[in-house]
Amino acid sequence: MNSEAVSQPQAPVIDSRSHEASWTAALPDDFGALLRDGIDLHVHGQPDVSRRFANRGADIDVARLAHAYGLRGWVLKSHLWPTMDRAGLIRDSLTDIDFEVYGSITLNPPAGGVSVTVVELAASHDAKVIFLPTWGSAADVARGGYIPDRLTLSAPSFPRYASAHAISLTDGNGSLTGAVREVLDACRALDLSVATGHAGLSESLAVAEYCAGIGARVLITHPLHYVEQPGQLTRFTDLGAFVEFCNAPLLHPDGHLTIRDVYAGLEAIGPRQAVLTTDIFSRWVPPEPECFRMFAEQLSYLGISADDIRQLLAANPRRFLGLPESVSVS
């Protein structure tokens, strides 16, 4: 048989913009009302931990969908590599819409660890947020978790590497190390925002106290993983730190948190110093903006007002990033 005569199936050609219109047409009327002008401070791009784990479509397509939901921007995060230049490429591809993508760096070992020089170089590439170590923190190495498991699938030597390079943010007396203080001082001087990564509870408190003393903006990332009672979160907000509530743990098959835990946390600290984010990068979840919509709609159902949700999604993220607080309502 002539092999050239055998027709081969071709992958369908999909126009991402028409595909976006089909998706949004299937949603409830005014589906983006609660997300309008929102900024998601914790967006994992495609890929993050490995190209083997495809979690969604291309960043540009998902960003366009996020804009269709009313979102105004993202902070793009990676557990492995700086995202500043990647964020710039996405921005350059979205000049026809009003959508901002901010770059960040996570101070894990492959990126240089907790180093003031790394922070200064990241700032020169327009970083907006500095994440303290995630899987690279000694606290995270001690407790293990989902990210180390994923990374080990790609790099069998990873557990040995992580243990050998684990980073403690505090010394034996519970005080921040000199390297951490240098990093935080640089973030303040360079007008960068700080997020605590996967630091332990006592480490996060030490970071929050230091940032309060120097006037640096700081976000305590997903602290519901580490506190026993939501009222414990007030120790951070009393210092002026922002507290993050993520959607991802509520959607994970092995997660122990529910939307009512988030509601209890918000009831304990109020909306003034809290933010909502997605933090999703798993194949079993909808695209980022739909996860955000579900998150906001569920909190609305439980009794969080639309004005408070707007503060959690739009006003507070802008304050954390050091942006003007006023946003358009159009």
Q: What is the pLDDT of residues 37-73, one digit of tens each?
A: 999 999 998 888 877 777 778 899 999 999 999 999 9
**φ, ψ for residue 22 (rounded to 5)?**
-65, -40
Query: What percent of the chain stands above pLDDT 90?
Result: 75
Q: What is the mean pLDDT of residues 293-311?
A: 97
Q: What is the mean pLDDT of residues 244-264?
A: 93
Judged against a pLDDT cut of 90, whether residue 24 lies above it is answered with no
**pLDDT reported for residue 4:** 37
- Which DSSP symbol is given to 176? B
User: Which of 5-19, 109-123, 213-227 is the least confident region?
Assistant: 5-19
Q: ∠ CA(178), CA(180), CA(186), 5° rounding?
A: 100
Specify the CATH architecture of the domain 32-321. Alpha-Beta Barrel (3.20)
DSSP 137-168: BHHHHHH--HHHHHHHHH-TTHHHHHHHT-B-
- Which DSSP symbol is given to 197? T
Q: How confident is the model at residue 96 (pLDDT cuts 50, 70, 90)?
A: very high
Q: What 3-state DSSP class applies to 246? A: strand
| Cβ atoms < 10 Å from Cβ of 94 | 17
DSSP 300-313: HHHT--HHHHHIII
C-alpha to C-alpha distances, 210 to 37, 103, 104, nearest whole angstrom: 31, 24, 21
Distance CA 281, CA 134 (A): 15
Distance CA 77, CA 105 (A): 7
β-bridge mates for residue 219, sequence order:
195, 242
**pLDDT reported for residue 18:** 59
Tokens of 128: 């907006």
User: Which of 12-16, 63-67, 272-276 is the least confident region?
Assistant: 12-16
**φ, ψ for residue 191 (rounded to 5)?**
60, 40
Tokens of 126: 């327009």
Mean pLDDT of the chain: 91
User: Which of 14-23, 248-257, 270-279 is the least confident region?
Assistant: 14-23
For the full predicted model, state whether its pTM sits above 0.85: yes
Judged against a pLDDT cut of 60, whether residue 7 lies above it is answered with no
Length of the chain: 330
Q: What is the mean pLDDT of residues 176-193?
A: 98
User: Which of 80-84, 170-174, 177-181, 223-227 is the least confident region?
Assistant: 223-227
* Every domain of the chain and the residues it spans: 32-321
